[in-house]
Chains A and B, each alone.
Chain A
Amino acid sequence: MKILIVDDFSTMRRIIKNLLRDLGFTNTQEADDGLTALPMLKNGDFDFLVTDWNMPGMTGIDLLKHVRADENLCSMPVLMVTAEAKRDQIVEAAQAGVNGYVIKPFTAAALKEKIEKIFERV
C-alpha cells in the first residue's frame, strides 16, 4: 500500500506519517501542495491519498477534483485531513467525491477509524 501525504506543513506531514506507520502503512511519500502532488500521483503507483485542504499553489479540494477527473486516478480513495470546518466545505468535499473527512486537531483513533472505514468500502 503506497500512500501520498499532502500538507504544506512538514510537522503535520510527519504526524500523519508516524500515525500511518503505527497502523502498519510504512510506504509513504510526501508533497507540500496539490501542484507537487498531482504529477507524483500521475507518475507513481499510489493506492491512497491523504490531503489537507488549505495549501498554497493548488488546494486540496482542487487536487481532489483533478484526481476524480483523471481516468487513471478517479477511483483512488482520498482522505481529507484539514482544519476547514465549515459545513459548506464538508458538503463540497463530499460532492467532489472525498472518501473521508477528518478535522484538525484529530486523534490517532479518529484517523485510524476513518482509514479503516475507507478500506472496508474499497
Chain B
Amino acid sequence: MTNQITLHKEDSMIIELRECASLLLEKLQGDDYQEASKMIVNLNVTRDRSIFQSVGELTRALHESIKNFNIPGGEQAFSQQGSNVDKCSELHEASSGLEYVLTLTKNAADKTMDMVEDCAPICNELGQEANSLKLEWTRLRNREMSPDEFRALYTRLDNYFETLDAGTNKLNENMQNIILEQGFQDLTGQVLKKVINLVTEVEGNLVSLMRIAGQVEAVVGIDVTKYDNKGCDGANPDADIVGEGPQYNAEKRADVVGSQDDVDDLLSSLGF
C-alpha cells in the first residue's frame, strides 16, 4: 500500500519534471531565456519538493516505529524526567519480569531441596530401624529370643510404630509441599510468554526500521556497498571462546554436542 502511494507520487513528480523540461525546451527554442531560467528554477523546486516529501514521510514512519517499541523515547522522553519514564517502558518491565522468573525459580529450587534434605534423615532412620527390627523379628520367629529380649523388642516395636507414623506424616507433608512448590512453573510461564511476545513485537518493529532505513538510504543516495558486510553473526574467528549457556537447539547444530556420551567420545578422540 505504502509502496503504491510512493510510486504514485514518483509518477506525478516525473510527469511534472517532463512538463517543465518540454516547456524549458520550447522556451530555449524560442530564444526566451528569461522564461527558460524560470523553468530551470521550477525543475529544481519540483525535485527538491519530492525529496523533502519523501524524507518527511520517512521521518513520520520512523517516529511511528519508535512509538511502537513502547519506549517513551518519542514525545515523552524529552519532556519528562528519566526515572518515571523508564518505569513505563515495556522493555524495562520485561527485564523486571525476567528477574522475577529468576527469583521464583531459585526460591522453588531452594525450598524443594530444603524439603528433600528434611526428608532424607527420616527415611534413613526409618530404614535403619526397620532393618534392625527385621533381624530381631527373624530371631523371634526362630524362637531364639529370651523373654527379656522379647519385652525389649515389644517396646521397640511400639516406639517404631509411633516414629513410623510421625515420619510418614512428615514425608507426606513435604511431598505435598514439593508438588505445591512446582506452581512456579505456571507463574514464570506466564511472564516468559509475555516476554516472548514482546521480543517478537520488537523484532517486527526492528524489521520495519530496517526497511525505513533502506528507503532513507535510497532517497539520500547513501552507497551501502562501501560498508563492510561482516555477515549475520559478525563472528570473529580469532576471538576468544565465550560462554553461550545451555544449547536448547543442540540437535540443529553440528558444532555442539548432544549428550554426555558425545562429550566422552570427543574427549577420548583427543586421547583422554
Contact = CB atoms under 8 A, between A and B. Distances in A.
A18 interface: yes
A14 to B, nearest CB: 6
B256 A86 contact: yes
B245 A101 contact: no
B241 A11 contact: no
Interface string B246-259: 11001000011111
Interface stretch (B128-136, B150-158, B174-182, B260-268): B260-268
B170 to A, nearest CB: 19
A29 interface: no
A83 B257 CA distance: 11
B224 interface: no
B246 A18 contact: no
A94 B272 contact: yes
B241 A87 contact: no
Interface residues of B, number: 23
Interface in A29-83: 53-55, 59, 61, 82-83
Interface string A95-114: 00000011110100010000
A84 B113 contact: no
B246 A83 contact: yes
A101 B267 contact: yes
A14 B244 CA distance: 23
Contacts, number: 68
B51 to A, nearest CB: 49
A106 B257 CA distance: 14
B263 A84 contact: no
B241 A90 contact: no
B247 A85 contact: yes
A61 B242 CA distance: 9
B5 interface: no
A116 interface: no
Contact of A87 (B113, B243, B257): B257
B110 interface: yes
Contact of B243 (A11, A59, A102): A59
Interface string B119-160: 000000000000000000000000000000000000000000
A85 B266 CA distance: 11
Contacts of A86: 241, 244, 247, 255-257
B243 A84 contact: yes
B270 interface: yes
21 contacts: A10-B106, A11-B109, A14-B110, A14-B113, A15-B113, A53-B243, A54-B245, A83-B247, A84-B243, A84-B245, A86-B255, A87-B257, A87-B266, A88-B241, A90-B263, A90-B266, A94-B270, A102-B260, A103-B257, A104-B246, A106-B260
Nearest 4 pairs of A and B residues by beta carbon: A54-B243, A83-B246, A11-B109, A85-B247
Interface of A: 9-11, 14-15, 18, 53-55, 59, 61, 82-92, 94, 101-104, 106, 110
